[in-house]
Amino acid sequence: MGEQIEFNSEGTVTSAKGYLAGGTFAGLKTPGEGVLDLGILVSESPASVAGTYSTNKILSPSVTVTKEKAAGATARGVVANSGCANCAVGPQGFSDAKDLSALAAGHAEVDEDSMLVSSTGMIGVELPMALIRKAIPNVELTSEGGEAFARSIMTTDSRAKHASVSFQVDAATYTIGGAAKGVGMIHPNMATMLCFLTTDADVEAGFLQNALSAAVDLSFNMIDVDGDQSTNDTVLLFSNGAAGGAQITADSESAGVFQEALNQIAIHHAKELVRDGEGAERIFAVTVERAASSADARAGAREIASSNLVKAMVHGKDPNWGRLMMALGKSGIELNEPNIDIFVNDIHIVHEGIAIPYYADAVIAGMNVAEVQFRIALNIGTGVATAWGCDLTEDYVTFNSAYST
Amino acid sequence: MGEQIEFNSEGTVTSAKGYLAGGTFAGLKTPGEGVLDLGILVSESPASVAGTYSTNKILSPSVTVTKEKAAGATARGVVANSGCANCAVGPQGFSDAKDLSALAAGHAEVDEDSMLVSSTGMIGVELPMALIRKAIPNVELTSEGGEAFARSIMTTDSRAKHASVSFQVDAATYTIGGAAKGVGMIHPNMATMLCFLTTDADVEAGFLQNALSAAVDLSFNMIDVDGDQSTNDTVLLFSNGAAGGAQITADSESAGVFQEALNQIAIHHAKELVRDGEGAERIFAVTVERAASSADARAGAREIASSNLVKAMVHGKDPNWGRLMMALGKSGIELNEPNIDIFVNDIHIVHEGIAIPYYADAVIAGMNVAEVQFRIALNIGTGVATAWGCDLTEDYVTFNSAYST
């Protein structure tokens, strides 16, 4: 069998076999047509779980509780709410995170310790537990519930974000489904990026965690909307083996295609978050290549993707390469100015550190696209990495300067 | 005599005795009434000099040449141009920086090696040396030329920035004069922060450098407009002893008042740069106190001052303290959430990590001022530091997304 990976933009967390999901409106967000704010995802059978979490020193108790529960690398599911970050509310936050997961576990008829919890929304406000208690029974858990689950975790996201990828190993078809919500610190208060991934492959727990960490390093760790980092950021990956077949371990022949599929779905969601960044009109990819090391390439690409000035120049379709140079220099990575080449949408505009007299109108016109490509060749090594950012627009400021009160 | 320090908002680099300065229009910037783009500052007698420079790995040759010339800690003056950063133009940049300083030295009749050079403006464009050669003789060097010098280094600054402080030691009066130009990566291309300080006190060279580094750590290193760092940032301090009196060394009784005066003029200019940040409508001060260490306090205050979300909330007069918590947590410093207290303009809004039910209208009304004060008490140690930032406005984006071309 081939190892091609099939991408499905209509896929969801329930595209993978053996997962049920659903969502309801509990009253945490402003009511409206189709507005959901409480979702549950559950595996029909015990699953392995891997996770990566915010490194912010101020953490939502929802994250802390999930980290504790996921430490054993097995779980059955996750309950996620939007509209409230359950953060900076004192000891009540821990109590509420535990209660919320216990309520969801009871509804899904799984063990309390196996139900993880994620929250996103306003900080400094307690979860309205009475509303949640009343709403939990309304979450209909079905194998078609992935789209409702994706809607339940939206905050200022303009659209639900979900997709799936499938690949074959021998006779078996495996799927990885995903749901995500917006990066970008969100009006009216900072929010979060959440991503939940499900696979019906049976993946060994140690490899599952390593594969997820590697995929997150290539995707969610390489995007920037506004340089800020939430107290609630979480990525979870469940593996329940419902598609049958042999267990995938780090040594399996299929380890490579699994990793590739996982990278693909993670990068897809990461780019979707950037594309839907607050006020964003277009995104850009920055590839730093021929760096002294991969770490240098990553650091350089991330610094450029997170520069306000670069973001603003993408907004203005301005091939202002001096800002790329400035951000690169600020990153502190190893570089030699007379070796640097810069390409905008593959048009070579800087050679050996000096501007090539390029036809500016063509470069500007080329920047009027949904995804601008910057490529910076340092020409001193073999390290390569890509990061993504969105443009900085007047609307970003308007969104984020509105009252929370 | 007392040790009071007198501040003069009309002061300039020529307020200190024994300095001459002037500026002219050479044609590097768009012509206009009162527009100057080439200035020279010179001490009538040999001076000690101290400097701090951008740590960006891409440096303008003007910075590199100045660092080399100032290495001996003596100098006579500096020539500064606006309208062109003399950066990323290959070997020509070194040649031009040396020629520019030699031309200025010839005009001022001082040794070529004693004339430093600073450039600010568009990156990737060569200095128009023929225009400069023609204009240099028009720079009239006088003891009233400090204001013209300050105007010569402006880029998108809305006003010239200059001031002076004076203090007495025994019978002698000493002055420190200053000129600065805008931080904020500047339309139509990234630019720079430059600050030139002059004193007529005779300060021992080693102490002069240490005092300048300490003052810069409290001022220019604690401000943020947009998180980006220029290739050209430079602060220079000249000391010519023209006011007479004993030499000030680290052990002098007067070392303290000199340091205090230097801090005051440096902080004044730093805050002026923030106040004049692109699109800025108000500034804010962030004091982190009772941190585990000074280094932690500095890191926490700087992280908050450079957060886009905090900047946007200051623009919106929004007491959205969750964003202060988020930025604090992201800084990675030691903290204990249940110990954190937060004050906005001295109104206590968070106690032991939890919101106090405060009267929001009063806090919002209080934020409608030229300088908002945030105070975050970590209550785990004795470290304290203050940083300053400006609000993030729609105008910042509009400025910075315009074409360079």
pLDDT in tens, A57-99: 889 999 999 999 999 999 999 999 999 999 989 999 999 999 9
Catalytic residue among B14, B175, B192, B386: B192
- Whether the per-residue pLDDT at B284 is higher than 50: the answer is yes
- Whether the per-residue pLDDT at B263 is higher than 60: the answer is yes
**What's the pLDDT score for residue A229?**
66
Partner residue opposite B326 with nearest CB, options A55, A188, A190: A190
Q: Tell me which residues of chain A, numbers 289 to 328, contact chain B at a CB-CB cutoff of 8 Å.
A: 307-309, 312-313, 315-323, 325-328
B372-391: average pLDDT: 95
Cα–Cα distance for residue pair B400/B398, rounded to 1 Å: 6
Q: How many helices (H) and strands (E) does chain B have?
A: 11, 16
Tokens 């200053």 correspond to B178
Inter-chain residue contact B326 with A185, CB threshold 8 Å: yes
Its sign, for the CA torsion A128, A133, A134, A137, is positive
Partner residue opposite A322 with nearest CB, options B190, B360, B392: B190
Contact A153, A39 (CB under 8 A): yes
Catalytic residue among A120, A192, A234, A386: A192
Cα–Cα distance for residue pair A69/A79, rounded to 1 Å: 13
Q: How many other C-beta atoms lie within 10 A of the C-beta of residue B405? A: 11
The full set of domain ranges for chain A reads 5-275, 283-400
| pLDDT confidence bin for B184, thresholds 50/70/90 | low
Q: Does domain A5-275 have CATH number 3.50.50.60?
A: no
**What's the pLDDT score for residue A213?**
95
Inter-chain residue contact B333 with A189, CB threshold 8 Å: no
Q: Tell me which residues of chain A, numbers 206 to 245, contact chain B at a CB-CB cutoff of 8 Å.
A: 226-231
- Whether the per-residue pLDDT at A203 is higher than 80: the answer is yes
- Whether the per-residue pLDDT at B364 is higher than 90: the answer is no
- DSSP three-state, residue A107: helix
Q: Tell me which residues of chain B, numbers 362 to 401, contact chain A at a CB-CB cutoff of 8 Å.
A: 364, 391-394, 396-401
**What's the pLDDT score for residue A403?**
46
A192 is catalytic: yes
Query: What is the count of residue pairs from A and B with beta carbons less than 8 Å apart?
Result: 224
A20-46: average pLDDT: 96
Measured between beta carbons, which residues in chain A are less than 8 angstroms from residue B404? 313, 318-320, 322
- Whether the per-residue pLDDT at A402 is higher than 80: the answer is no
Cα–Cα distance for residue pair B147/B21, rounded to 1 Å: 8
pTM: predicted TM-score of the whole model, two decimal places: 0.84
Q: Does A124 touch chain B (CB under 8 A)?
A: yes
Inter-chain residue contact A316 with B226, CB threshold 8 Å: no
B281-301: average pLDDT: 95
**What's the pLDDT score for residue B226?**
58
Which of the residues A310, A314, A400 would you substitute to probe the B interface, choosing the one with the greatest number of B C-beta atoms within 10 Å?
A400
Inter-chain residue contact A397 with B396, CB threshold 8 Å: yes
Measure in Å the smallest separation between the Cα of A319 and chain B Cα atoms: 8
- DSSP three-state, residue B320: coil
Q: Does B356 touch chain A (CB under 8 A)?
A: no
Q: Residue B360's closest CA among B346, B376, B341, B347?
A: B347
Q: What is the pLDDT of residues B19-33, one digit of tens each?
A: 999 999 999 999 999
Q: What CATH fold (topology level) applies to the domain B283-400?
A: Ubiquitin-like (UB roll) (3.10.20)
Which of the residues A126, A186, A228 would you substitute to probe the B interface, choosing the one with the greatest number of B C-beta atoms within 10 Å?
A228
Tokens representing A214? 């590697």
Contact A239, A206 (CB under 8 A): no
| pLDDT confidence bin for A3, thresholds 50/70/90 | low
Q: Residue B52's closest CA among B256, B198, B215?
A: B215
**What's the pLDDT score for residue B344?**
94
Inter-chain residue contact A316 with B393, CB threshold 8 Å: no
Q: Which helix H or strand E contains B299, and what residues bound it?
A: helix B294-305
Complex ipTM more than 0.85, yes or no: no
**What's the pLDDT score for residue B402?**
61
Cα–Cα distance for residue pair A104/B313, rounded to 1 Å: 35
Which residues does B259 contact at the CB level (< 8 Å), separation at least 6? Answer: B211, B214, B215
Q: Does B121 touch chain A (CB under 8 A)?
A: no
Q: Residue A44's closest CA among A74, A15, A77, A11?
A: A77
Identify the CATH assignment for B5-273 out of 2.60.410.10, 3.60.70.12, 3.30.70.100, 3.40.50.1820.
3.60.70.12
Partner residue opposite B231 with nearest CB, options A57, A329, A354: A329
Q: What is the pLDDT of residues A262-293, one digit of tens each?
A: 999 999 999 998 888 777 889 999 999 999 99
Please check whether the two domains, A5-275 and A283-400, share a CATH topology: no
Q: What is the pLDDT of residues A38-61, one digit of tens each?
A: 999 999 999 999 999 988 888 999
- Whether the per-residue pLDDT at B186 is higher than 60: the answer is no
Beta bridge pairs of residue A3: none
Inter-chain residue contact A330 with B87, CB threshold 8 Å: no
